[in-house]
Amino acid sequence: MSDSRWTIGVKEAGLRLDKFLADADRLVSRSRAVAAIERGKVFVNDDEASAADAARRLSIGDRIRVWMDRPGSSRRRPAPHRTGELDIVYEDDDLIAVNKPPGLLAVPLERKAAAESVFDQIDRHLRSHRARRPFTVHRIDRDTSGVVVFAKHSAAQAVLKQQFLRHEPERVYQAIVYGHPTPPSGAWRDTLVWDQRSLIQKGTHPRDPRGKEAISEYRVVERYGNTSLIEVRLVTGKRNQIRIQARLRGHTLVGEQRYVFGPAELRPIDFGRQALHAARLTVSHPVTRQALTFEAPLPGDMVELIEALRRSG
């Protein structure tokens, strides 16, 4: 089987991609299916499948292609792994994506020069392999966990930064908030202004010349007693955007210390940080232009919080 194609019908709809490929009439085993995905031999609707797509649920009409003889696909593609201090989601000659733990800066700050950052850890990682220093592309808050991407050379940095400036990457976060957003899915639209003195975002009038439009799409994933797990996709990408937009609607993030709403009695849950996680990021590779999706599972503290909320609610 050098180049095979299938279209998903009613019987196959809902199957995971790896299970579909592991059928006896296709790749025979799940290990062969996963290896084909990791080596870039599998396409869904003409897009190359990533390792994260192995768990993708197929829909009627999806087009699956397995190109076993694809040039350059004999080598295993970069897979998530841990090395020293870093939880590496993806790495090649042009970029590196890591799963940042909470409590660690993404990049060094002048006002906190002694604080450790992911940038510092990647710098040590690259230097240990006699590579060049990393180049910052974007960042997430210190107490937010999840996916962050760095470039390995200035040309890759320039291409990736332009993507973020044009709001092209898909950036999906998970958060635990007080209350139940209504309706259960929709869009948040605000005009925000950055307060340089207080170092926070503030809502402002749409006609404010300093204001910048902020748009997020949200959906409620799970409801508990007086809290909800939500998924938020950034359409724009302003600093602290999810935290301030949730607060403006009375849905302060659990653990939030800066963007709060109402008296402290309304926020009774003891959690050491804002419950916010950068779960998924999709960018175009700066050299090949291939779509790359990076995913990071919920960290342990948020998993434990969700389990406690389920038990109590």
The shares of helix, strand and coil residues in the chain, as percent rounded to the nearest 5, are 20, 35, 45
DSSP 16: B
Please, which residues have CB within 8 angstroms of residue 86's CB and are 6 or more apart in sequence? 98, 118, 121, 122, 125
Residue that the structure tokens 């002694």 belong to: 114
Positions marked active-site: 141
Please, which residues have CB within 8 angstroms of residue 43's CB and are 6 or more apart in sequence? 49, 63, 64, 65, 66, 67
Task: Give dist(CA 145, CA 277) in Å, integer.
Answer: 5
Task: Give dist(CA 105, CA 143) in Å, integer.
Answer: 8
Task: Give dist(CA 132, CA 21) in Å, integer.
Answer: 39
164, 151 Cβ separation under 8 angstroms: no
Beta bridge partners of 47: 44
* Cα atoms in the Cβ-side hemisphere of radius 13 Å centred on 200: 13
